[in-house]
Amino acid sequence: MLAATDGPLLGVNAWGDEDPEPTDEPEAFIDGCDELATPEEVLTKLEKLAADLVLATLRSDPPATPVPAAAISFTVANVRRDGAVLVSSDGPLAAHRVPLSATTTLSLRDPNKRRAERYARIWTMLASSHAHLRRNEKVTQRGLYYLMSSGAHTSSLFPDPATVNSALLDSVSLVAVSRRSLGVVAAPRGEVGGAMSIREGEDAPWRSLWDESRQISGDIAAIARWEFRGDFRYVLVVEKHSVFHRLFAEERVHTRLPCVVVTAKGFPDLATRAFLKRLQLTHPHVPFLGLVDWNPSGVLILGTYRAGGRTSSAVLESSRYALELKWLGVRSADLATNPARIPLTDLDRAKARTMLRADGARLDGDTAGDESTDASTERLQSARARELTAMCATGFKAEIESLCPGSCGGEGRSLSDYVVEKILRGDYAD
């Protein structure tokens, strides 16, 4: 619990003059936050935080908040004593939960406009979370933006989704719970189909995915209750929805090889990774195989499935959903006879160099580091480093679809031919 005398209310990072780097990740969490907090526990935290703010404002001694007490006014109207709900009688104050019909106003006057706006955004976000939790409701992050941007008193505070995301991350950091615990969930993004059936809990019916795929819920707590059954031998994780649709719906690869096909439609969201991790834990002997474009972004997507990703210095994505994922393709060996390549962009090269350095490679212009040559050489031999080096050396990249003209109405093999042949040969890398 934060106390009014424990120093700056929002910490150093939250009170800088510049907003933090926004993230496009649907889910992220602050390292050390409580991902299992119940709605009642979060409500109590929010109310304690608000009470601490009021106390700091009303005290005659120097306030704990960086905002001067004289700049804050806090009023609650339309509250009747018999309409409030007693929350706790512990401590010197008897706290009462204000009913939803009450009108609560927090006013702030501060010469630093950016700081004042950020402060107002955080408390507006916390008030919204409090209201959703009290109604036992959840809201998607996109829905949260629409809610904030359409409100008569909030639209000017939240001009774009990045501002909403920044305020949400500040709120997560302040309360030290996950955004799911604040009632914010990701919109469904992943999709799954193939030789498997799913049921969403013990009392739910089994649903076959043989003929019709289904979306993967954005609610990780719901995914934790899912059960799976089926005789699948492989799980194929594909980068793009177009490739997923081609393999599952059009070419029905699961009728040729007992497999499950999954996509997050680009960079993986946390819910899709949580789904895959649960599936892997329940089927530990089934190989999970990744199919991505042969370009730096594809390599980065593969790495995100394997280890998670960083979005900024203050926000870490959970590594608990890291997958054992083999690299099926596309790899340089698949491109020997493929003329349909695309030149690398400057951004592609920058991404490749960043990942190569992370793998211990020394590039032109780099100075020697602390690692020994042997260690650097050994790390450079990783599949990722080899493929990135090949991309930079050739100056080209290639998309999955370019390997299979038969899937686009031309002559040659289809996409499912390519996938089945490689899987049956065991042609995949660590």
Q: Hey, which residues does 235 pair with through a beta bridge?
A: 260, 288
Can you tell me which residue has the tokens 């393999």?
247
User: In the annotation, is 145 catalytic?
Assistant: no
275 contacts 226 by C-beta, under 8 angstroms: yes
CA angle 74, 160, 182 (to 5 degrees): 55
Helix (H) or strand (E) holding 300: helix 296-307
Distances (CA, A) of 295 to 11, 32, 163, 222, 346: 40, 34, 31, 34, 12
Kindly give, in sequence order, each residue whose CB lies less than 8 Å from that of residue 173, ignoring residues fewer than 6 positions away.
10, 11, 13, 14, 30, 33, 314
Give the CA dihedral 35, 38, 39, 42, nearest 10 degrees: -60
DSSP 21: P
Among 277, 281, 278, CA closest to 308? 277
- Range list of β-strands (E), 92-202: 95-97, 103-108, 139-140, 184-185, 191-194, 197-199
Distances (CA, A) of 258 to 236, 275, 423: 10, 19, 11
Q: What is the CA 344 to chain-centroid distance, rounded?
A: 27
Q: Hey, which residues does 96 pair with through a beta bridge?
A: 86
Instruction: Single out the catalytic residue among 146, 305, 321, 428.
Output: 146
29 contacts 73 by C-beta, under 8 angstroms: no
Please tell me the number of Cα atoms within 13 Å of 39 on its side-chain side: 13
Q: Which residues are catalytic?
A: 146
